[in-house]
Amino acid sequence: MTSSESVWDLYNKFRDVRFSKKVYTAIRTKYERRDRFIQIFMLVAAPSSAVSGWFIWQSPLGKYAWVLTSGLASIAAAVHPLLGMQAKIRASHGLVVQYMEYEEDLDRIIRSVRSTGRYTEKHAAELESCIDRRRCLCDCEAGFSPGKRLRDQCFAQVCQELPPDVFFVPVMAGEDGDSPAEQPEPPREKPEPPRKKPAVPQPVPPLFPPPGEVPGITPPSPWPGKPGKVDTPGPWPRK
């Protein structure tokens, strides 16, 4: 496998890590919003809250609505600990942090490839070592199952942020891996010596000019073409 082909293992892994970071960031945000909504709902619907003293709850319909709201709040208070929102938030946050560190490690290797101008065996070994250190992430991801819509959305974002043309593709390294393979120069053609133009015999001027051609007299009709302008056969070429 050439250097330009194997370096894409690094870039694709970098995309995978960016994708996973986005997925678990979205999952963490989803659980945070749900947990915040449940907590606000329980605070608002509590009997001791300021909302319970509003005038709208004094009407027959308002009393019925308040009883229903209080019942839902009591159910939410009982079910909320069983949902494990805080545990899911902590787990997803831990995954986001680990993937951020993973991304920084890969970015360091990518910067090294760009600075050296080639992808060597040292970079490949660093990539394998980085992958081995992060194998524990698979165990932490077991409790999450992101949906297809979320995965497609994050995949499209990564494709937009990291298209192929943003990555540096190094030249193929030589057998020793220290210098690019030298290409033999094509043989240079020797320039041909300039050819001498054959001598053109000069006409002998007549002793007397032909009839009708008197030196110093303007011809009766203008020469073809406009003076000071050369007609081109077509428009000028454009880039």
Residue 173 DSSP class: B
Is position 73 within any domain?
yes
Query: Which domain does 152 fall in, by range?
Result: 3-166
pTM of the model: 0.66
Is position 172 within any domain?
no
Distance CA 178, CA 118 (A): 9
Is position 85 within any domain?
yes
Classified as helix, coil or strand, 124 is helix
In a 10 Å sphere around its CB, with 0-12 CB exposed, 13-18 middle and 19+ buried, how is residue 76 labelled? middle
Q: How sure is the predictor about 210, in pLDDT bands with cuts at 50, 70 and 90?
A: very low
In a 10 Å sphere around its CB, with 0-12 CB exposed, 13-18 middle and 19+ buried, how is residue 157 labelled? middle
User: What is the predicted pLDDT for the residue at 57?
Assistant: 85
Is position 102 within any domain?
yes
Q: Is the pLDDT of residue 213 over 60?
A: no
Q: Is the pLDDT of residue 142 over 90?
A: no
In a 10 Å sphere around its CB, with 0-12 CB exposed, 13-18 middle and 19+ buried, how is residue 35 labelled? middle
Is position 26 within any domain?
yes
Q: How sure is the predictor about 223, in pLDDT bands with cuts at 50, 70 and 90?
A: very low
Q: How far apart, in Å, are the Cα atoms of 22 and each of 107, 143, 170? A: 16, 17, 28
Quote the number of domains for the chain. 1
- Which residue(s) pair with 173 in the sheet? 180
Q: Which residue has the higher pLDDT, 60 or 213?
A: 60
Distance CA 42, CA 80 (A): 10
- 102-138 pLDDT, tens digit each: 999 999 999 999 999 999 999 999 999 999 888 877 7
Is position 78 within any domain?
yes
Residue 142 DSSP class: G
Is position 177 within any domain?
no
Classified as helix, coil or strand, 180 is strand
Q: Is the pLDDT of residue 56 over 60?
A: yes
Is position 96 within any domain?
yes
Give percent above pLDDT 70 in the chain.
69
Q: Which long-range contacts (CB under 8 A, 24 or more apart) does 236-239 make?
A: none
User: What is the predicted pLDDT for the residue at 176?
Assistant: 45
For 140, residues 6+ apart whose C-beta sits below 8 A from its C-beta are 91, 94, 95, 98
Q: Is the pLDDT of residue 25 over 80?
A: yes
DSSP per residue, 11-53: HHHHHHHHHHHHHHHHHHHHHHHHHHHHHHHHHHTSTTSGGGG
User: What is the predicted pLDDT for the residue at 196?
Assistant: 66
Contact status, residue 76 vs residue 36, Cβ threshold 8 Å: no
